[in-house]
Amino acid sequence: MTTPWRGSSAAILPVADLQRAVDFYRGIGFEAEIAAVGGYAFVEAGGIRFHLSETVGFDPFVHAAMVYLYVDDVDAVHAAIDLEDAASLIYAELVARRSRGESLARIRPVQDESWGMREFSFADPDNNLIRVGTPLAVS
């Protein structure tokens, strides 16, 4: 059976501060374009696209999203991210969040999971959880 559902997709991630979110995604290797209309931006890396939407009254416990990205080589993606730059962006956000009594962002290393994926994950400064993985080879 054929399906008309062919094309591409882009997750829309809610953010509290558009420029901060754009800076974060640029810091981990995405290209960004801020839309002509206020409060919206597009980020892209290797065909993976997100729309960033500045959300009035943003609450990370209500508005945050979760996205799973299937990539050809999770280790290469992990290695390509400037972890030092990303860590400094995340560290600055951690300090700001801690001072406001808010939750803290996090990064997990690459690891093999029991559900057949090799993956890592991180939370952006707005608590959107991004998981990146490659299927493990079947033996």
Q: Is 138 exposed, middle or buried (0-12, 13-18, 19+ CB in 10 A)?
A: exposed
Can you read off the two tokens belonging to residue 68? 């799973």
- Asked whether residue 16 is assigned to any structural domain, the reply reads yes
The predicted model scores a pTM of 0.79
| Buried b / exposed e along 30-64 (16+ C-beta atoms within 10 A) | bebeeeeeeebbbbebeebebebbbbeebebeebb
Q: What pLDDT, in 10s, does the model give residues 57-112?
A: 888 778 889 999 999 999 988 887 755 555 566 666 666 766 776 655 567 789 99
Is 1 part of a structural domain of the chain?
A: no
Tell me, yes or no, whether 108 lies in a domain.
yes
Q: For residue 130, what are the domain limits? A: 11-56+64-135
The answer to the question of residue 127 being in a domain is yes
The CATH number given to whatever domain includes residue 88 is 3.10.180.10
